Structure 1
Amino acid sequence: MKTSKAILALLTAAALAAAFLTTRWTGIAGATDPENLSQAVVLRDRDAGVVALGAKVYASECAACHGDGLQGQPDWRVPGDDGLRPAPPHDATGHTWHHDGDALFRLTKYGLAEVIGDPDFATGMPAYEGVLSDAEIIAVLSYIKSTWPAEIRAQHDKLEKRQ
């Protein structure tokens, strides 16, 4: 059982790496929405109205899995018995801030399976295309970023400038 969990963990890590690399070389919406390729996602974590909308949408769409305090689920790095990883935290203890706004937007809107081009990839994270508008997705991501400590926000700002 430990061997199969280790293999699953390696496959998940490889898929996440592929998703990251894919998001570095494609535009905002990836290959599925070429009309938006020239647009860049701008998180608006200092805009009180956007952050307030994001907090509201997060509470209704995200908190059930990722936690009211963005803390994620326990043991989020270890796949569960179903083979899926629990929801990761979006606070400073997680890895959300390691990804630029474009990557976060695509992962949220289209889901990991679409982003990595593997429709059979199993994940507990739903795609929000058709559920949330682009503005709502950006608001949620802006809200999440607004909760990070100043030094992490500054690091993320630098990452955004390299897009």
Structure 2
Amino acid sequence: MFLLPAVTFSVLAAIAAHGQQQSDNTPAERLTVLGHPVTDEQFTLGRQVYAQNCASCHGTNLQGQPDWRRRLSNGRMPAPPHDESGHTWHHSDQDLFDITKLGVGGIVAGYESDMPAFEDILSDEEIAAVLAFIKSTWPERQRESQARVTAKAGGGS
């Protein structure tokens, strides 16, 4: 009588564990950043660095700030989402790297943003790892589109 629920629970637990193991092993598969394949270690580092340095503005689930398309009272734009609902995937790897390292004002002269330049905070490896983590969260359609943008810009996929 109690054997069937126990067996069912065991089977479901095993399926869930297998699914979790698969999802833990797949984020870095087939991803590249700046033309280099993403490793599992890089993905893990990127997730940690994102949580420590980016999530406070861009959201723990990459959802961005509320009303991210509407200017704040100071005239600056809120932090956009980095998930598929935002526009991050519209930019090449190199552009994303440069914006993160130099800040938006370092790329677009005179542009004022609340986002700091991370060149004195994060290493190039950490920035690339954050980009790997962000890219790993996108659905295939956004990944493919962003890979085309990157390739067109001359940066591989």
Q: Please give the per-residue CA displacement for 1:52-103, whole angstroms capped at 9, x wherever unaligned.
A: 1000000000000000000001100101112111110000000000000010
With the length of structure 2 as denominator, give the TM-score of the two structures: 0.73
- Runs of 4+ aligned residues of structure 1 deviating over 3 Å after TM superposition are none
Q: Which has the larger radius of gyration?
A: 2
Structure 2 spans left out of the alignment, 5+ residues = 1-32
Q: Distance in 2 between matches of 1:42 and 1:57?
A: 21
Q: Distance in 1 between matches of 2:64 and 2:125?
A: 23
Q: Does 1:116 align with 2:84?
A: no
Conserved in 2, the CA contact under 8 Å of 1:43 and 1:139?
no
Name 1:103's counterpart in structure 2: 95
**Equivalent residues in 2 for 1:9-158, closer than 5 Å:** 41-42=34-35, 44=37, 46-118=38-110, 121-158=111-148
How many residues are treated as equivalent by the alignment? 121
Q: Distance in 2 between matches of 1:130 and 1:122?
A: 19
| Alignment-mate amino acid for residue 147 of structure 1 | T
Structure 1 spans left out of the alignment, 5+ residues = 1-39
SS of residue in 2 equivalent to 1:80: coil
| Alignment-mate amino acid for residue 66 of structure 1 | H
Change (3 A) 1:43 1:105: farther
Q: Please give the per-residue CA displacement for 1:28-49, whole angstroms capped at 9, x wherever unaligned.
A: xxxxxxxxxxxx93364x5221
RMSD of aligned residue pairs (Cα, Å): 1.5
Identity of aligned residues (%): 45
SS of residue in 1 equivalent to 2:77: coil
